[in-house]
Structure 1
Amino acid sequence: MSAVNKITEIFRNFVPEYLERFGSSIPSEHRKAITAILTCRTDGHGLLYYECEKCGEMHVAFRSCGNRHCPACQNHKTRQWMVRQMKRQLPGHHFMVTFTVPSELWDVIRKNQKKCYAIMFAASSQAMGELIAKGRHVKGDASGFFGVLHTWGRQI
């Protein structure tokens, strides 16, 4: 079973419980992505008919959803992005710092994503700036940092 099929199977198995548990607070963009992934390459997106130039046979294929979050549709783009990022990586030492959010705030953040993410990035940037300025934990002539938002938990 391919990784894409595994992810689709996970969605089929756990989305009903997820929707039941968080239904009222799920942003519409998340619902659209869930629906797209669950119906990708099914008759939910229609069929493509094409005739083979060599054998003359008619072939049928399910259309993909095209959603940017869908691993079946966007896997190649993700790989291309990763290759570009690896080429951009500066030589030298680096490390990752992770800022986590207490579970008690998850519902508030889910319902106010734009504001809460902005606050989280501002707070983490300020914390990193202070660490760099003190020079105790991070040293170098050109120390810097960038932030990446991961919205999934470790239980995946």
Structure 2
Amino acid sequence: MCCPDHEVAHVLERNREHLANHCANSWQVRTLHALRKCRTAALGGHIDCCNNPACYKLHLSYNSCRNRHCPKCQGHKKEAWIQAREADLLKVSYFHVVFTLPCELNRLSLYEPKLVYNLLFTTAWGIVKDFGANPKFLGGRMGMVAILHTWGQNLSLHPHLHCIVPGGGITKTGKWKNTKSKGKYLFPVKAMSIVFRARFVAGLRKELGKSQPASFYESLFKNQWVVYCKRPFFGPSQVVEYLGRYTHKIAISNHRIKSLESGNVRFMVKDYRQGGKKSVLALSDAEFIRRFSLHILPKGFTRIRHYGILSSYYKRTLIPELQKDLGRPELAEKVPLKHRKCPSCKKGNLVTIATFPARGPPNGWREQIEKHLNRPI
């Protein structure tokens, strides 16, 4: 994919003196400045040399910020995550389950993000675990991988969890048991939605108590809550590929930005209520930065979590045994990552031979490299 003409970093750079005006806290400000400096001289850099004897070309690169909210730093992490999850796959049906919070909770999510998002994780897993333990539906111990997203296409606040759930579980005898639907569906979504709403509101009452008026809790019962559940069409490897798009995705990719003219940001949006119809939305720089900041997670918050038989402990002990009994799905051969391939000859690998701080390459860098390579450049 070619490099985009416009980036989130360009918007941040031209507003660098006023970023604090559009953020709710200092952590958001620090994050925006890190994104602004990503792959610029401000973070220093390194000099790479191709190890192909027919090439030996030098390449100067600036360092990445490696921030999880940065549009330019997620590709390699995503591929590594996909490969790690594929190693844990079983030859069974998998389901994509989405738990969505209503808009009535948006204001609370802004002021108490850790409380709301932690409760969302806990409630979602509790529902999957308890429905699975119920003999009416399965009668076994289940697993889940959950990924938090907080945005909609227009950068509005829209907290929801994307989950991978195997279509079965472990019985008390230690044997695998498929769901009673024969892989057609996981659990009844209407029942899951009702329980999801009741448990989440109960959790809020426990955490917040009388700090919120009774009318607030009553408003949460006015509408149905959304739980989406669908079996993947092409098997377990495809659901990991599909959710791999979500794991290290951020609120907006640079490729969606179409122009940055007259202090405005114009970017592509999809309206899923109208079958994914595309349109272009224009926001002022200030509004764009404000909305982007809504999706900067609290410091240290874990947005990808593993539960039950897919947790770290069971992946080391139980999953290998299940793979022996149930088998592993056939996976397409992976193309090796090319992020360290020489862009000139396409054959050699890049080897870092020198680094430099934010002020730029050190004096005499050329002589240092010639000495390292034992040849002139």
Place the TM-score, normalised by the shorter chain, in its bin.
Answer: 0.5 to 0.7
- Which amino acid in structure 1 is aligned with residue 42 of structure 2? G
Q: For the structure 1 residues 106 and 25, does the alpha-carbon distance in structure 2 shift closer, same or farther, using more than 3 Å as the test? A: farther
The farther-off stretch of 115-124 and 71-80 is 71-80
| TM-score, structure 1 as length reference | 0.66
Matched residue of 2:96: which SS?
coil
Q: Which stretches in structure 2 are left out of the alignment for 5+ residues? A: 155-251, 253-377
Counterpart residue number, 1:88 = 88
Aligned residues: 149
Q: Quote how far apart the aligned CAs of 1:140 are.
A: 6.5
1:41/1:62 contact within 8 Å kept: yes
Counterpart residue number, 1:33 = 31
- Which amino acid in structure 1 is aligned with residue 119 of structure 2? I
Counterpart residue number, 2:61 = 61
- Which amino acid in structure 2 is aligned with residue 90 of structure 1? L
Q: Quote how far apart the aligned CAs of 1:95 are.
A: 0.8
Q: Quote how far apart the aligned CAs of 1:57 are.
A: 8.9
1:66/1:73 contact within 8 Å kept: yes
Q: State the superposition RMSD in angstroms.
A: 3.9
If asked which structure has higher relative contact order (CA below 8 Å, sep 6+), I would say 2
Matched residue of 1:104: which SS?
helix
Matched residue of 1:120: which SS?
helix
Q: Quote how far apart the aligned CAs of 1:68 are.
A: 4.1
Q: Deviations over 1:60-94 (max 9, x none)?
A: 43333233443434422321121111121222012
Counterpart residue number, 2:110 = 110
Matches within 5 A, 1:1-12: 2=2, 5-6=3-4, 9-12=7-10
| Larger strand percent | 2
Matched residue of 2:101: which SS?
coil
Counterpart residue number, 2:223 = none
Q: Deviations over 1:108-137 (max 9, x none)?
A: 21321222222212222232234324455x
Q: For the structure 1 residues 52 and 127, does the alpha-carbon distance in structure 2 shift closer, same or farther, using more than 3 Å as the test? A: closer
Q: Looking at CA atoms only, which structure, 1 or 2, has the larger radius of gyration?
A: 2
1:26/1:110 contact within 8 Å kept: no
Equivalents in 1 of 2:90, 2:77: separation in Å?
22
Q: What percentage of residue pairs aligned between the two structures are identical? A: 28
- Which amino acid in structure 2 is aligned with residue 150 of structure 1? H
Q: For the structure 1 residues 23 and 109, does the alpha-carbon distance in structure 2 shift closer, same or farther, using more than 3 Å as the test? A: same
Q: Quote how far apart the aligned CAs of 1:145 are.
A: 2.9
Counterpart residue number, 1:121 = 121
Q: Which runs of 4+ in 1 moved over 6 A?
A: 50-59
Equivalents in 2 of 1:43, 1:102: separation in Å?
43
Counterpart residue number, 1:100 = 100
